[in-house]
A and B are shown apart, each in its own frame.
Chain A
Amino acid sequence: MALDASRIREDFPTLNRLVNGHPLVYLDSAATSLKPRAVIDALRNFYENENSAVHRGTHLLSAEATENFESAREKVAAFVGAAAEEIVWTANTTAAINLIAYSISNASLGRGGRETERFRISPGDEIVVTEMEHHSNLVPWQELCARTGAKLRFIPFDSRGELQLEIAQSLIGERTRILAFSQVSNVLGTISPVTELAKLAHGVGALVVLDAAQSVTQLPVNFAQLGVDFAAFSGHKLFGPTGVGVLYGRKELLDVLPPFLTGGSMIAEVTLDGSSYLPSPARFEAGTPPVAEAIALATAVDYLSNLGMAAVAEHEAALAQRLVAGLVEIPGVEVLGPEPDRARAGLASFTVEGVHPHDVAQYLDNCGIAIRSGHHCAQPLHRKLGIAASSRASLSIFSTEAEVESLLDALAGVRKYFKV
């Protein structure tokens, strides 16, 4: 069933705001989503009624908080086709990817004994990423290479902003230990062929790490079916609070991977001479976890499940096509990534000839339209395209065709205003 965006809009209090005298047109959901009232209420409810430490204490509040916290894990797991014990709470996508990279790094130092041999990276090994990655799925791998002596290699994208699979085939070989890529590019809107890439990697015994930050928000995603080993996403882009994110890992891998952050909550037994650790996921959750945030994220996931992710995907894809078709009609506007009519997630980045992206964003802000301008944490991608920055409009479940039209109308006036 198609989404009823006008009904959905009533659930988002922020949409009642006026911006510079105009109703807010929020086209920056790829940066962070607005929050439905249910999520804001869940946070408030936790702090007002349940606030307590989890996994310790015998009093009622602690028992309730623990139950709600673990039930949140089950809900989020089910949302992405995982088992609850395959879900590790992190701070965000970046923290999740760093967790993997540093755990593998620790395995490479011999931590975890013989069981972790399969994770070890040595000089001469290769890690493969793509040229379109967000810095959070690039820099941690650069660092892992620097620590282990491995070499980082890159799958290029073509003029349509699509990954070049024939080159991927030749890049991914016997030396490849890890393949890391994003399911949806945060700049180009390209949707990667996850299962094909995962097959290539598994064919040579490499681990597959998926950056799902931009995909879980708008596509039905099932990590088990996609066949990835690890995946990461953020709560705040998924209609949840900041400060909570998820690392997904296949159970058999998480169970042997050595920990990254250590300390409280992740230990089985501690003596002055050394410590043993809990099984996953607890082993990877040192310190007080984001309890209220995880519970509120589960509320967000419930909210999306009620809408149906297939309907969400259809809504965003249709609006994205309208957006791109309109953008390419405006003189001086050039769209990055897939051409009109080719598959694209719910966002479009573009340049306006003669006007800097920050000036474009400022002009639109004056019309009440919120977009992002800059390098979108993807400098290598922009450098390859020969630009320093771009403007990006990104859609959400509450976005309407009228909002897309108001963006297009406003953009049509930008070059005149700046006397281009």
Chain B
Amino acid sequence: MAVSDFDGLYQELLIEHSKQRHGFGLQPNASAEVHSLNRSCGDEVTLRLHFDDGQVKAVSWEGRGCAISQASASILSDIVKGLPAEECRACIGQFRSMLQNRSPDSEPPEDLGDAVALKGVALYPPRIKCAMLAWVALEDALDKVEA
């Protein structure tokens, strides 16, 4: 049986990440900290970027919100670890494009790792903001450290 849009939205992996949130808990000695709020629902994330030598060493975060926003932040903290700033920005850009692409046949970008589990969000436009919450925060944090 084909996976429904709904089960494609809440993939197993996404629900797992929403329960076991990787990178959760703010770590000391951050290079930048950004607080991001989804005004429509009150979901929020505080994200710390640990940056050194042009590279994302780690992302730590805290926040509250729906399964999509929590899982998305968790996956983000996994996949950007060790990326040079430029690649990290490219990754955020690919993620954004993936969420804006509603075409059913499109292949998800290879570099996104587990984040492709969020591809189903594209079919639910009101939830794109939930998925983007931590990613936008990281983008702002990169702007800060590179300013």
Contacts and interface: CB of A to CB of B under 8 A. Distances in A.
Interface of A: 20, 355-359, 362-363, 366, 373-375, 379, 382, 388-389, 417-419
A213 B130 CA distance: 30
Interface string B1-26: 00011100110000110110000000
B43 to A, nearest CB: 7
Contacts of A373: 41
Interface centre among A373, A379, A419 (most CB of B within 10 A): A419
Given A20-B6, A388-B64, A362 B124 contact: yes
Interface in B32-74: 40-43, 64-68
B6 A358 contact: no
A356 B41 CA distance: 10
Contacts of B67: 355-356, 359, 418
B10 A417 contact: yes
Contacts of B16: 419
B15 A375 contact: no
A419 B15 contact: yes
B96 interface: no
A254 to B, nearest CB: 36
B38 to A, nearest CB: 9
A358 B10 CA distance: 12
9 contacts: A356-B43, A358-B66, A359-B66, A362-B9, A382-B42, A388-B64, A417-B10, A418-B15, A419-B19
Most buried by A among B9, B40, B67, B127: B67
Nearest to B38: A358
Nearest to A360: B66
A373 B6 CA distance: 18
Contacts of A355: 67
Given A356-B65, A419-B19, A379 B42 contact: yes
Given A20-B6, A356-B67, A388-B64, A375 B41 contact: yes
A388 B43 contact: yes
Interface of B: 4-6, 9-10, 15-16, 18-19, 40-43, 64-68, 124, 127, 130
A362 B64 contact: no
A389 B42 contact: yes
A374 B124 CA distance: 17
Nearest to B70: A356
A382 B67 CA distance: 20
B6 A366 contact: yes
A375 B42 contact: yes
Given A356-B66, A358-B130, A418-B67, A388 B42 contact: yes
A363 B5 CA distance: 11
A389 B10 contact: no
B53 to A, nearest CB: 38
Contacts of B64: 388
Given A358-B43, A366-B4, A388-B64, 4 more contacts: A20-B5, A375-B42, A382-B42, A418-B15
Given A366-B6, A418-B67, A358 B15 contact: no
B29 to A, nearest CB: 29
B12 to A, nearest CB: 9
A374 B41 contact: yes
Nearest to B40: A374
A58 B23 CA distance: 73
Q: Which of A357, A362, A389 has the most CB of B within 10 A?
A: A362
Nearest to A356: B66
B84 to A, nearest CB: 34
Nearest to A375: B42
Contacts of A374: 40-42
A388 B41 contact: yes
Contacts of A388: 41-43, 64
Contacts of B6: 20, 362-363, 366
Contacts of A358: 41, 43, 66, 68, 127, 130
A383 B42 CA distance: 11
B134 to A, nearest CB: 15
